[in-house]
Structure 1
Amino acid sequence: IIPLILMWWRSLLLLSVLLVHSSVLSCLIGTQRQCDVARFVPGHNMVGKGFDIVTLQRKRAHVIDVKTYLNPRETCILCSNPLQNHAYQKLPSSVVDWSASSQCSKNMNSYLTPYKLHVLSIFHQSGLEIEKVLFDNFDVGGTGSNAYKFASQQIEEDRYTFSTHSVTCNHYKFILSPTPPLSVEFKKQLDILPSHYNYSTENEYRKLIQTYGTHYFRLVDLGGRLRRLISSRSCLSTLNGLTSPEVTKCTKQQIFTQPYDSATNFSSGLHRYHSEVSGGDGWLGEFSISKSHSTAHMNWLKSLIQYPEVVSFSLRPLYQLVPNKLQQAGVKTAIEQYLEDTSVKKSPQEPDCEGSTLNMSYNCCPMHASRGNLSVTIVRGWNLYGDVIGKTDGWVDAKVKKTKTLWNLMSTPFIWLLFCSQLCQDWNAEFDLGKVDTSLALKIEVWDEDPKYDDLLIECMKYLIPGTQTFTCKSALGNVEVKYTLTCDPHLTGEKCSLYKPTP
């Protein structure tokens, strides 16, 4: 592992070690005049919007009324915001609890499949009825998110493992009423929504979901988050001497493995990245290994207090807000159908090759480049000149990887070979040499075996290339025809099986 000097998030973490600000909130009942003048608490409009668990994105439309702040007594709740000079700010009537405190934390996780990039636990409390057989065979929910799309594109090209590294800053917490008032626009949509869900009305229900999402927020934490999804080529990492657990360990210690491939010089490198920034003043999370971005980081962190975004939440299904029971059942069915329609067949599980094949790691990736399986056929020999009296005792010596293997092929009468060179029978002796180092040459030797001294008749060297090839070794003492088949190990290609081949 080659450390690169701690990556961008180390500097961010150093900057984000803020003093945890937590003070006892001072709230009071304000008069209408006071309430009209006061500003809303930061991010109040975020909590009333819908959420789509397929795209994992907040919708722009409000399902809950967060504009109303006066109660029937023409008063409101005003709370001192310790993060903004203790200014008194008003709460929407739909908010029953609010708090302000600042804390930043980091989180790192690793996954083998794209679907594990988001949390499935939202389904455990979602109130939706998704058949178990669908969950067992398909990815349901989150399949439209940018992170899922990025990861899915990667595994179509090669085998990857994934890790997420995030820095999250929490500033404000909202808890909404168990029975929150609906927004005016959502009420209008329900007024024109057909009362029954069926084939003829499913488009209207789908439009409702596309506008308002599948869920709404019950509890929301606002602040900012910088998340980086890292995809690492599984087999290329193995070729560079790195196992998936080692890659994860290094990233958890904030040490990056080398971004380049030293084993096969693969041009696309070991890692790819996808960054997402939530909240703040629009910083895109750009970074450089050689250049500090501490000013941009600090400005982004400071801006989160004024421009927070949803960073964590507890969800409830949208249909629970629908007062009409027939429409409620229809919205519930429409959401379940939407999830089924957007489900994606699960990615295959990582293979397991523990102790099964030479040069194969536990994850079925080659441990070394320039490796392959070799089989050799000694097709025939002719005009073999050996013993002057008697017979020529032909045998072949093949050497690969400094290992000598003797094959006693056949004994042929000298006279017959001398005069019948075109009529000799084919030898066609096949030999499986198994795993070989493809950077070395195959050496063929043909000998005449004698009681006292063996005579070398033919000697030649041949560098191998993948596929099935035939060549002839010639000398003044005879000829031998050789055929071989070289198959590169998985994920290897090139003239000597020395190049990396991306393979899903």
Structure 2
Amino acid sequence: MANLSVLCLLVSLLHLAPLQACRVGKKEECDRAPFVPGHNLVGEGFDVVTLQRKGAYVTDLQTYLTPTNTCTLCSNRLMGNQAQKMPLTVLDWRPSSTCRQSLSSFFFNSVSSLLASSSLSITNDWKVDLGLQRVADQQLAGSQSAEVIFASSQQQEDKTSFITHQLTCSHYRYRVPWVPPLSPEFHQHVKSLPHKYSNDTAYLYRHFIDTYGTHYIHQVNLGGKFKRVTSIRTCLSTLNQISATQVENCLSAGLSVGLGQVEASVSSDSCRKVLNNQDSVTGYTQGFLNHITEVSGGNRWSGVFSMTQNDSEGFHRWLSSIKKNPEIVSYSIRPLHHLVKSTTVRLNLQREIRAYVQKNGLPKEPEPQTCGFDHPNLSPNCCPLHTHRGWLTVTVARAWALHGKLLGPPEGYVKVFYGGIEQRTAWIKSYDPIWHAQFSYGHVDTTQQLSLQVWVKGWWWKEDHLGGCVVSIQRGNHYHDCWMNQGVFSYSYSLQCDPHLIGPKCNMYWPIP
């Protein structure tokens, strides 16, 4: 019996333990106490299209006194057990530290795959009761977020892949009631919405969405987040013989060095190229990497630091500051129309939210093109492996005023040389032969020279060389006359560079989406 009593006491203590950090406070100490950190980061309007808070609140987060002039005071163990007050609408507040200071990294080969990851901070099914669960051909959440806008702009310029690096610390969590008390402003705005929905009244609902968004934040985890999204010019990195995996590994190492998580060491040549964003093959001045950085919570740390040496002072100040000034790192959201009592207005708002989300959705991209291993100078991701490569076609047109050692019209032909390959026109007996012979040399190295020679039959079945021309080929279509001691002949050639190559010798990089 004594053992049973002890067991019951232990169970009771376990249930009370989380509650003992909070108590009822009197008005004087309530007025004096600060709010819990991030007390106003829940119950706020939220736009699921941009993944941004709207700064307009659907519930009252400033009232903390009950009708009896008391409040809830909680001891914050993350801030020296300081007593802090909670708004009346906040429930289940608690410190809950989870801080992974090591960076996580992920590779994405398209904007679509990056977009799919950008909404992972939403911890619930945000599509509930919006009729969007079966939308399969569009990506909706985050379609106009900052990182997706950045990624789309990069993809419009060039063939691009992406890498994200992220570090997240979570320190607090809490929620608002399932049906929270509405803020006066939100309540009045809802009441002003017309019951009749038409082309003439739809703008009022759109204005409501512009103000409050599509959802409200119901539950949050607060802390800080550092996230860096890097775009890679896929084909420029391929030309530099740097793979996406190398870029990811080098950036991970550089970021870890800068944040003071690992000791700086001598980097490989490829990592130096990555960290210096240096194209050493074509001299492309914009480099092959671009990035944006997002820092949430804490002080005004920019997230900019050296990646070749320990430059972590600002980072550690930021880490220390997010306990006092946290931001949302993950959250659950509910559609705003759930807060509307009028059935007619609720359905109208639901309809307008659904239309707004779908209008801003992005079509799902097809899988990136692959080229296998059968194409010369193309990697499996369809990028050139080397510069100075292209496709060459030579056309020998005709000649005028040819003369040989034999009496009468000479019998002549033209030899064409490129890259060790010789091709010939047919023999034609004429002072002014017309060949119109076209020769394909296929895929060539543009650093070599094109040579053309005119030959005619001589004495005793010998061939006499009348002359010729040697030319250094360049990109494009070119037409030439070759003057010899005895006559002239005309020819042309066409050099088409491999994809992503440009310049006279196909030696420069050309961004192509």
TM class by smaller structure: 0.7 to 0.9
Contact 2:25-2:72 within 8 A present in 1 as well: no
Contact 1:197-1:334 within 8 A present in 2 as well: no
Paired residue type of 1:230: T
Match of 2:258 in 1: none
Contact 1:171-1:222 within 8 A present in 2 as well: yes
- For 1:294 and 1:249, locate their aligned partners in 2 and report how far apart those are by CA, in whole Å: 20
SS of the counterpart of 1:431? strand
Contact 1:218-1:316 within 8 A present in 2 as well: yes
Match of 2:476 in 1: 467
**C-alpha displacement at 1:245, in angstroms?**
4.3
Greater CA deviation, 293-302 or 426-435? 293-302
Contact 2:279-2:287 within 8 A present in 1 as well: yes
Greater CA deviation, 241-250 or 57-66? 241-250
Contact 1:218-1:313 within 8 A present in 2 as well: yes
Structure 2, unaligned runs of 5 or more: 1-16, 255-270
- Among candidates 486, 497, 501, match of residue 506 of structure 2: 497
- For 2:34 and 2:371, locate their aligned partners in 1 and report how far apart those are by CA, in whole Å: 62
- For 2:77 and 2:118, locate their aligned partners in 1 and report how far apart those are by CA, in whole Å: 32
Match of 1:41 in 2: 36
Paired residue type of 1:145: S
- Among candidates 6, 28, 32, match of residue 22 of structure 2: 28
TM-score of the two chains, using structure 1 as the length reference:
0.85
Match of 1:285 in 2: 303
Q: How does 1:220-259 map to 2 (within 5 A)?
A: 220-252=220-252, 254=254, 257=274, 259=277
What RMSD over aligned residues (CA atoms) do the two structures have, in Å?
A: 2.7
**C-alpha displacement at 1:159, in angstroms?**
1.8
- For 1:285 and 1:154, locate their aligned partners in 2 and report how far apart those are by CA, in whole Å: 21
- Among candidates 416, 419, 426, match of residue 410 of structure 1: 426
Greater CA deviation, 279-288 or 207-216? 279-288
**C-alpha displacement at 1:120, in angstroms?**
4.9
Paired residue type of 2:504: E
- For 2:25 and 2:243, locate their aligned partners in 1 and report how far apart those are by CA, in whole Å: 64
What is the count of residue pairs matched by the alignment? 470
SS of the counterpart of 1:268? coil
Match of 2:339 in 1: 321
Distance change (3 Å), C-alpha of 1:320 and 1:147 = same
**C-alpha displacement at 1:276, in angstroms?**
1.6
Contact 1:395-1:406 within 8 A present in 2 as well: no
Greater CA deviation, 156-165 or 383-392? 383-392
Greater CA deviation, 206-215 or 320-329? 320-329
Greater CA deviation, 91-100 or 162-171? 91-100
SS of the counterpart of 1:312? strand
- Among candidates 317, 320, 324, match of residue 299 of structure 1: 317
- For 1:270 and 1:499, locate their aligned partners in 2 and report how far apart those are by CA, in whole Å: 14
- Among candidates 77, 82, 92, match of residue 97 of structure 1: 92
The yes-or-no answer on 1:438 pairing with 2:433 is: no
Match of 1:82 in 2: 77
Match of 1:487 in 2: 496
Q: Percent same amino acid at aligned positions?
A: 38
Contact 1:396-1:444 within 8 A present in 2 as well: yes
Q: How does 1:160-199 map to 2 (within 5 A)?
A: 160-199=160-199
**C-alpha displacement at 1:365, in angstroms?**
1.7
SS of the counterpart of 1:374? strand
Paired residue type of 2:468: E
Match of 1:11 in 2: none
Contact 1:61-1:211 within 8 A present in 2 as well: yes
- For 1:332 and 1:119, locate their aligned partners in 2 and report how far apart those are by CA, in whole Å: 24
- For 2:421 and 2:127, locate their aligned partners in 1 and report how far apart those are by CA, in whole Å: 67
- For 2:19 and 2:301, locate their aligned partners in 1 and report how far apart those are by CA, in whole Å: 30
- For 2:197 and 2:104, locate their aligned partners in 1 and report how far apart those are by CA, in whole Å: 42
TM-score of the two chains, using structure 2 as the length reference:
0.84
**C-alpha displacement at 1:477, in angstroms?**
4.8
Contact 2:44-2:59 within 8 A present in 1 as well: yes
Paired residue type of 1:476: N
Distance change (3 Å), C-alpha of 1:499 and 1:362 = same
**C-alpha displacement at 1:252, in angstroms?**
4.6
- For 1:28 and 1:156, locate their aligned partners in 2 and report how far apart those are by CA, in whole Å: 54
SS of the counterpart of 1:340? helix
User: CA deviation digits over 1:138-178, x for unaligned, max 9?
Assistant: 44342332222222222222221112212222111113322
- For 1:230 and 1:247, locate their aligned partners in 2 and report how far apart those are by CA, in whole Å: 10
